[in-house]
Amino acid sequence: MIRFENVTKRFGSFVAIDNLSLDIYEREFFALLGPSGCGKTTMMRMLAGFENPSEGNIELDGADIVDVPPNKRAVNMMFQSYALFPHLSVHDNIAFGLKREGMAKDKISARVAEMLRLTRLEKFASRKPHQISGGQRQRVALARSLAKAPKLLLLDEPLGALDKKLREETQFELMDIQEKTGTTFVIVTHDQEEAMTVASRVAVMDAGVLKQVATPSQIYENPNSRYVADFIGDVTILEGRARKEGNRYELAWADGQPPIVAQSALEIGPGDTCYYAIRPEKVEIHHDKPEDDNVLQGKVIDIGYLGNISTYHVQLANGQTIRAQNFNTERSTQQAFTWDDTVWVNWTDRCGILLAN
């Protein structure tokens, strides 16, 4: 439905978007994820029509929209600051776009009522924006941008201003509304948890370039680069040289440490530098040496207790730290492992990912 074709955007000499191509499909909940300054907001502003690409095309439903001004696009945006008109009531804010369309009065009030119901704001229709809570404001902004039934809804850090608990609730609400309305949603966020929760597909961006576009689980379990692996979730990354052994690779990564074995479809030449990423929840920790692949000995130097899980920082003889996570399945005051314990960590050959770059 949306197609970016070799889009480049420059601000002066700064390249915000570098020759980027991307397809977004109908009824999709798509997330643009990246650190601040990576170009994700610029992407969205180009979709809304507030910025024009320096080069390349943007198509919506097969039609080039680069020259269409923002007020003529079937695209609506929910602003990071919500941008609610302070002089208008909740009702009038939601009706604002409909009135511009010249819709009949009774149709407008029916549509506004529908939107108020959808966002559970019926009781607040006559209030002014400063008379309602932050979460309610967020819903007004959503209702206002959905009122015109746009083909595409853009959400700029929609939950950034809410506290953690409200944010989690609202994430599910957003998904619910997206499903009910069938609108294509494009969300911009720097919060990876948010992107993973709400989106059906995620694009990870860095410095104006798409690093990876895939479903949340693919991004998490099969990142295509160190950048993506590191950006999403916790990870330990080791550097070494790989050698093919049958259908597996053997990674020599440190003197005095046994090589790491990994399954990978990657083609890596003998002796090439490559990287190995292992996530802490996939690492087991034992008092006694287990019989398995990838067994390393070390000492517990730090414990992070989070209630449901504990993270152990295990330092190996060569100074490298490996993180291992354990579920605290039993209620006991006594921790199974404590500081300075000598322990063994291990994981199977399918748990880690071999990365070429």
Partner 1 sequence: MRRAIVYLIPFTWLLVLFLVPFLIVFKISLSDVALARPPYTPQLDLSQGLSGILDFVRELDFENFIFLTTDSLYWKAYLSSLKIAAVSTFLTLLVGYPMAYAMARAREDWRPTLLMLIILPFWTSFLIRVYSWMGILGTEGYLNQLLLWLGIVSTPLQILNTNWAVYIGIVYTYLPFMILPIYSQLDRLDGALLEAAEDLGCSRASAFWLVTFPLSRPGVIAGCFLVFIPTLGEFVIPSLLGGSSTLMIGKVLWEEFFSNRDWPVASAVAVVLLIILIIPIILFQKNQQKQAEAEA
Instruction: Provide the minimum distance between the beta carbon of 151 and partner 1 in the complex, in angstroms, as a whole number.
Output: 13
96 touches partner 1 by CB under 8 A: yes
Check: CB of residue 283 under 8 Å from CB of residue 323.
Answer: yes
Given candidates 23, 26, 101, 169, which one binds partner 1 under the rule CB under 8 A? 101
226 touches partner 1 by CB under 8 A: no
Vertex 173, ends 167 and 178: CA angle to 5°?
Answer: 125
Instruction: Provide the minimum distance between the beta carbon of 58 and partner 1 in the complex, in angstroms, as a whole number.
Output: 16
87 touches partner 1 by CB under 8 A: yes
Q: Which residue stretches of the chain are H helix? A: 40-48, 90-100, 105-118, 134-146, 164-181, 192-198, 216-221, 226-231
**Binding segment toward partner 1, per CB under 8 A, in 68-76, 209-217, 332-340, 349-357:** 68-76
Check: CB of residue 229 under 8 Å from CB of residue 280.
Answer: no
In the bound state with partner 1, the residue whose beta carbon lies nearer, of 148 and 323, is 148
Strand, coil or helix: what is 266?
Answer: coil
Interior/surface letters 273-296, b for 16+ CB within 10 angstroms, e for the rest? ebbbbbbbbebbbeeeeeeebbeb
Given candidates 12, 106, 130, 329, which one binds partner 1 under the rule CB under 8 A? 130
11 touches partner 1 by CB under 8 A: no
40 touches partner 1 by CB under 8 A: no
Instruction: Provide the minimum distance between the beta carbon of 78 and partner 1 in the complex, in angstroms, as a whole number.
Output: 9
**Binding segment toward partner 1, per CB under 8 A, in 54-62, 66-74, 193-201, 257-265:** 66-74
In the bound state with partner 1, the residue whose beta carbon lies nearer, of 150 and 216, is 150
Give kind and range of the element (H or E) at residue 351.
none
144 touches partner 1 by CB under 8 A: yes
In the bound state with partner 1, the residue whose beta carbon lies nearer, of 53 and 240, is 53
Instruction: Provide the minimum distance between the beta carbon of 24 and partner 1 in the complex, in angstroms, as a whole number.
Output: 18
Instruction: Provide the minimum distance between the beta carbon of 71 and partner 1 in the complex, in angstroms, as a whole number.
Output: 5
Check: CB of residue 314 under 8 Å from CB of residue 280.
Answer: no
Residue 102: exposure state from Cβ atoms within 10 A (0-12, 13-18, ≥19): exposed
Instruction: Provide the minimum distance between the beta carbon of 79 and partner 1 in the complex, in angstroms, as a whole number.
Output: 5
Check: CB of residue 307 under 8 Å from CB of residue 323.
Answer: no
In the bound state with partner 1, the residue whose beta carbon lies nearer, of 145 and 236, is 145
Strand, coil or helix: what is 328?
Answer: coil
Check: CB of residue 202 under 8 Å from CB of residue 216.
Answer: yes
Given candidates 145, 178, 184, 236, which one binds partner 1 under the rule CB under 8 A? 145
**Quick one: which of 19, 17, 9 has its CA closest to 53?**
9
Phi, psi of 109 (to 5 degrees): -65, -30
DSSP 149-218: --SEEEEESTTTTS-HHHHHHHHHHHHHHHHHH--EEEEEES-HHHHHHH-SEEEEEETTEEEEEE-HHH
356 touches partner 1 by CB under 8 A: no
Count of residues near partner 1 by CB under 8 A = 25
Instruction: Provide the minimum distance between the beta carbon of 88 and partner 1 in the complex, in angstroms, as a whole number.
Output: 8
Given candidates 69, 256, 271, 307, which one binds partner 1 under the rule CB under 8 A? 69
In the bound state with partner 1, the residue whose beta carbon lies nearer, of 80 and 218, is 80
Residue ranges in contact with partner 1 by CB under 8 A: 48-50, 69-72, 75-77, 79-81, 83, 85-87, 96-97, 100-101, 130, 144-145, 148
